């Protein structure tokens, strides 16, 4: 049980860290680079990015982060040691906010940009860009920092979980770890030899 708790929390931390890194790159590298591009280039590049990013790897990490965090929370909720649970809940709430911002704000803007059509056929590229760029950047900045905060909460929860396991191992009897103790005492009891006292004792 302890191993599953730790692995699920580790998976949640890694997945949210990957998403935070992606959004961070958009906020501080990709969008600033595109700011100096002409309108046609900007619209064309963003349309291409919005299509290519919808791949199995991205979708697995993006949605998997929420699922694994929920699993980690459920496993810790059912445990006697819930020291990491508040941090998992905080991370879950923050990452849920990331999904809401993405689905309720950035994705609709992406859809409108795609609906504008081929950049070569758009009559007013400047207007299309104006209605997309600044609002999208605002939503992306907010979800970037929300995602970073979620990752930090889960990472600290992972530290708390590790410390708790170490304390449990230190307080356990010699040779018994916190995880092995959950298997029950039978695995660590010494074998005893039963004597048949009813057997006759040979005379001298």
Summarised one tens digit per residue, pLDDT across range 29-88 is 999 999 999 999 999 999 999 999 999 999 999 999 999 999 999 999 988 888 999 999
Q: Taking the complete model, does pTM exceed 0.85, yes or no? A: no
In a domain? residue 202? no
Closest CA to 157 of 1, 23, 16: 16
In a domain? residue 191? no
Please write the tens of the pLDDT for every residue from 122-170: 999 999 999 999 999 999 999 999 999 999 999 999 999 988 878 877 8
Q: Which residues, other chains included, contact 2 with Cβ-Cβ below 8 Å and sequence gap of 6+?
A: 79, 165, 178, 179, 182
Instruction: Give the residue numbers spanning the domain of 37.
Output: 2-172
Counted domains in the chain: 1
In a domain? residue 121? yes
């Amino acid at each position: 049980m302890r191993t599953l708790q730790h692995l699920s929390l580790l998976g949640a931390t890694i997945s949210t860290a990957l998403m935070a890194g992606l959004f961070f790159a958009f906020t501080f590298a990709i969008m600033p680079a595109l700011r100096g591009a002409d309108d046609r280039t900007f619209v064309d590049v963003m349309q291409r990015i919005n299509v290519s990013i919808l791949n199995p790897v991205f979708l697995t990490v993006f949605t998997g982060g929420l699922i694994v965090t929920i699993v980690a929370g459920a496993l810790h909720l059912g445990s006697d040691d819930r020291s990491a649970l508040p941090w998992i809940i905080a991370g879950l709430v923050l990452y849920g906010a990331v999904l809401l911002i993405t689905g309720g704000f950035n994705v609709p803007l992406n859809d409108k940009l795609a609906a504008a059509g081929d950049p070569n056929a758009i009559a007013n590229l400047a207007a299309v860009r104006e209605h997309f760029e600044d609002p999208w950047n605002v939503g992306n900045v907010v979800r970037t920092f929300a995602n970073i905060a979620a990752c930090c909460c889960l990472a600290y929860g992972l530290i708390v979980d590790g410390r708790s396991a170490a304390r449990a191992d230190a307080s356990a009897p010699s040779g018994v770890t916190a995880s092995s103790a959950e298997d029950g005492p039978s695995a660590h009891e010494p074998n005893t030899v039963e004597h048949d006292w009813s057997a006759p004792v040979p005379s001298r």
